[in-house]
Chain A
Amino acid sequence: MRLKTSLSKEPKHKELVSCVGWTTADELYSCSDDHQIMKWNLLTSETTPVAKLPDIYPIDFHWFPRSVGGKKQTHAENFVLTSSDGKFHLISKMGRVEKSIEAHCGAVLAGRWNYEGTALVTVGEDGQIKIWSKSGMLRSTLVQQGTPVYSVAWSPDSGKVLYTSGKQLIIKPLQPNAKVLQWKAHDGVILKVDWNSVNDLILSAGEDCKYKVWDSYGRLLYSSQPHEYPITSVAWALDGELFAVGSFHTLRLCDKTGWSYALEKPNTGSIFNIAWSIDGTQIAGACGNGHVIFAHVVEQRWEWKNFEITLTKRRTMEVRNVINDAMDLLEFRDRVIKASLNYGHLVVSTSLQCYVFSTKNWNTPLIFDLKEGTVSLILQAERHFLLIDGGGIYIYSYDGRLISSPKFPGMRTDILNAQSVSLSNDTLVIRDKADEKVIYLFEALTGKPLGDGKPLTHKTEIVEIALDQKGLTNERKIAFIDKNRDLYITSVKRFGKEQKIIKIGTMVHTLAWNDAANILCGLQDTRFTVWYYPNTVYVDKDLLPKTLCEKDASEFSKNPQIVRFVGNQVTIRRADGSLIHLSVSPYPAILHEYISSSKWADAVRLCRFVKDQTMWACLAAMAVANKDMTTAEIAYAAIGEIDKVQYINSIKDLPSKESRMAHILMFSGNIQDAETLLLQAGLIYQAIQVNINLYNWNRALELAVKHKTHVDTVLAYRQKFLEDFGKKETNKQFLQYAEGLEVDWDKIKAKIEMEIAKERERAASTPPVRTSVTVQH
Chain B
Amino acid sequence: MARELLGGAGLYFDELNKLRVLEPGVAQQTAELREECKAFVDKIAEFQKIVGSLIELVDQLAKAAESEKMKAIGARNLLKSIAKQREAQQQQLQALITEKKMQLERYRVEYETLCKIEADQNEFIDQFIFQK
A contact residues vs B (CB 8 Å cutoff): 227-228, 249-250, 259-260, 262-263, 265, 569, 574, 576-583, 586, 609
Per the bound structure, the CA–CA distance linking A14 and B99 in Å amounts to: 33
> Nearest chain B CB to A677's CB is how many angstroms away?
44
- CB-CB < 8 A to B117: which residues of A? 569, 581-583
Complex contact B99–A581 (CB within 8 A): no
Per the bound structure, the CA–CA distance linking A193 and B107 in Å amounts to: 31
Per the bound structure, the CA–CA distance linking A580 and B131 in Å amounts to: 30
Complex contact B114–A260 (CB within 8 A): no
> Nearest chain B CB to A49's CB is how many angstroms away?
33
B75 at the interface (CB under 8 A from A): no
Query: Which residues of B (71-104) have their CB < 8 Å from a CB of A?
Result: 88, 91-92, 95-96, 99, 102
- CB-CB < 8 A to B109: which residues of A? 574, 578-580
Closest 5 CB pairs of A and B: A578-B106, A578-B109, A263-B99, A265-B92, A579-B110
- CB-CB < 8 A to B102: which residues of A? 259-260, 576-577
Complex contact A581–B96 (CB within 8 A): no
B113 at the interface (CB under 8 A from A): yes
With A577-B102, A579-B110, A583-B121 given, name 8 new contacts (CB 8 A).
A249-B88, A262-B99, A263-B96, A265-B92, A574-B109, A578-B107, A583-B120, A609-B131
5 inter-chain pairs at a CB distance below 8 angstroms, sorted by A residue, are A265-B95, A576-B105, A577-B106, A579-B109, A579-B110
Complex contact B99–A260 (CB within 8 A): yes
- CB-CB < 8 A to A250: which residues of B? 95
- CB-CB < 8 A to A580: which residues of B? 109-110, 113
Given A260-B102, A577-B106, A609-B131, do A582 and B95 touch, yes or no (CB 8 Å)? Answer: no
Complex contact A581–B131 (CB within 8 A): no
Per the bound structure, the CA–CA distance linking A581 and B91 in Å amounts to: 35
Per the bound structure, the CA–CA distance linking A259 and B117 in Å amounts to: 25
- CB-CB < 8 A to A586: which residues of B? 124
Per the bound structure, the CA–CA distance linking A578 and B114 in Å amounts to: 12
Given A249-B92, A583-B120, do A576 and B99 touch, yes or no (CB 8 Å)? Answer: no
Of B105, B120, B121, which contacts A578 at CB under 8 A? Answer: B105
Of B88, B95, B107, B114, which contacts A263 at CB under 8 A? Answer: B95
- CB-CB < 8 A to B95: which residues of A? 227-228, 250, 263, 265
B contact residues vs A (CB 8 Å cutoff): 88, 91-92, 95-96, 99, 102, 105-107, 109-110, 113-114, 117, 120-121, 124, 131
- CB-CB < 8 A to A609: which residues of B? 131
Closest to A229 in B: B91
- CB-CB < 8 A to B99: which residues of A? 260, 262-263
Of B105, B106, B110, which contacts A581 at CB under 8 A? Answer: B110
Per the bound structure, the CA–CA distance linking A569 and B113 in Å amounts to: 11
- CB-CB < 8 A to A249: which residues of B? 88, 92
> Nearest chain B CB to A146's CB is how many angstroms away?
36
Per the bound structure, the CA–CA distance linking A686 and B95 in Å amounts to: 78
- CB-CB < 8 A to B110: which residues of A? 578-581
Closest to A577 in B: B106
Per the bound structure, the CA–CA distance linking A260 and B101 in Å amounts to: 12
- CB-CB < 8 A to A259: which residues of B? 102
Of B88, B91, B106, B120, which contacts A576 at CB under 8 A? Answer: B106
- CB-CB < 8 A to A581: which residues of B? 110, 113-114, 117
Per the bound structure, the CA–CA distance linking A578 and B113 in Å amounts to: 10
> Nearest chain A CB to B14's CB is how many angstroms away?
87
Per the bound structure, the CA–CA distance linking A586 and B105 in Å amounts to: 30
> Nearest chain A CB to B130's CB is how many angstroms away?
12
Complex contact A579–B106 (CB within 8 A): yes
Closest to B121 in A: A583
Per the bound structure, the CA–CA distance linking A574 and B114 in Å amounts to: 15
> Nearest chain A CB to B112's CB is how many angstroms away?
9
Interface centre among B99, B114, B121, B131 (most CB of A within 10 A): B99
- CB-CB < 8 A to A582: which residues of B? 113, 117
Per the bound structure, the CA–CA distance linking A554 and B117 in Å amounts to: 18
> Nearest chain B CB to A247's CB is how many angstroms away?
10
- CB-CB < 8 A to A579: which residues of B? 106, 109-110, 113
- CB-CB < 8 A to B113: which residues of A? 579-582
- CB-CB < 8 A to A578: which residues of B? 105-107, 109-110
Per the bound structure, the CA–CA distance linking A582 and B113 in Å amounts to: 7
- CB-CB < 8 A to A583: which residues of B? 117, 120-121
Per the bound structure, the CA–CA distance linking A580 and B111 in Å amounts to: 8
Complex contact B96–A265 (CB within 8 A): yes
Per the bound structure, the CA–CA distance linking A582 and B105 in Å amounts to: 18
- CB-CB < 8 A to B124: which residues of A? 586
> Nearest chain A CB to B114's CB is how many angstroms away?
6
> Nearest chain B CB to A615's CB is how many angstroms away?
15
- CB-CB < 8 A to A265: which residues of B? 92, 95-96
Closest to B92 in A: A265
- CB-CB < 8 A to B131: which residues of A? 609
Per the bound structure, the CA–CA distance linking A250 and B99 in Å amounts to: 12
- CB-CB < 8 A to B92: which residues of A? 249, 265
Closest to A228 in B: B91
Per the bound structure, the CA–CA distance linking A582 and B114 in Å amounts to: 8
> Nearest chain B CB to A760's CB is how many angstroms away?
47
Per the bound structure, the CA–CA distance linking A262 and B117 in Å amounts to: 28
